[in-house]
Amino acid sequence: MAQKIICHFCKAEIDAEAKICPNCKSNLANIRTNKKIFKIFGVVFAAIFAFAVFSYAFFGETEREKDAPIAETKQTELPGTPLEFSLLDDYKVIKKAATGRHRLEMTILPKSGQETATQADLISTVMHVAHEAYQRTAAPVTIVNMLAQNTGNAWADRQLAFIVYIPDQKGFDGKTASKKWENAAACERGFTADELTYLQLWGQLRTKYFDPQTGGVPQNKEEALTAEIEQVMGKKLDTDPMFNVMWPVDTK
């Protein structure tokens, strides 16, 4: 039985091999030619599209790898557990240092865990942040400073940890040999909530006792300053947070 098709013009059922529709007398040869052209075009387009996808998957990945920051082969081993942190400045670029080498400077704050943090935890936090920043920016030099709190008063916002990360070990100028981790320092522990309050009050009240000639609070007035802080807080601290200062840390 001959195969039947529907006429493109009058929709009548006709023989598949017919060149002229017996019902509406329309020329069907041109319709078949156009369909073949469209079919060939579709096959060619599909082939081009498939090649483009393959090229992007193979060569495009190479380009992305080429432009990506140079990553270390393995995650830096840390001496402690990094704290959760927040940034005080934008996680962005690299400003040009006076030496001519680019560097990234970051200031962070601990979100939680400071009260129980050890010196190893504090230095691990700035090391972790520096390493992650390098992965994102490929900055030759990354400097990370972690403050205990952010009150806007430099006397109250004590440093918890500090580090300089130079992955290529070529120093600040790109020529002088250096260690990967430079100037590493951290407090022996984090501050408690009461200690942070104490520091904030100390920063606010010290102006009453400040001696411009000596550039600080005279020793004979320190007791009065401490007594006023304790009166405002309604308690006396067991330890003096002023003695919790940063010490050099060996990062090897």
Q: What is the pLDDT of residues 62-99, one digit of tens each?
A: 333 333 343 343 445 899 999 999 988 765 556 666 66
For residues 102 and 173, give the distance between their C-alpha atoms in angstroms, rounded to a whole number: 9
Q: Are the CB atoms for 84 and 113 separated by under 8 Å?
A: yes
Same structural domain, 30 and 104:
no
Burial class (CB in 10 A: 0-12, 13-18, 19+), 59: exposed
pLDDT of 29: 58
Residues of the chain short of pLDDT 70, as ranges, are: 1-12, 16-17, 19, 24-76, 90-99
- Between the CA atoms of 73, 77, 83 and 88, what dihedral angle is there, to the nearest 10 degrees? -50
Same structural domain, 107 and 218:
yes
Same structural domain, 93 and 54:
no
pLDDT of 97: 60
Give the chain's domain count: 2
Same structural domain, 52 and 89:
no
Backbone angles phi, psi at 60, to 5 degrees: -60, -40
pLDDT of 146: 96
CA distances from 174 to 31, 163, 213 (A): 72, 18, 42
Same structural domain, 171 and 228:
yes
For residues 197 and 115, give the distance between their C-alpha atoms in angstroms, rounded to a whole number: 13
Give the structural domain span for 188: 85-248
Same structural domain, 107 and 152:
yes
Same structural domain, 89 and 62:
no
Same structural domain, 111 and 209:
yes
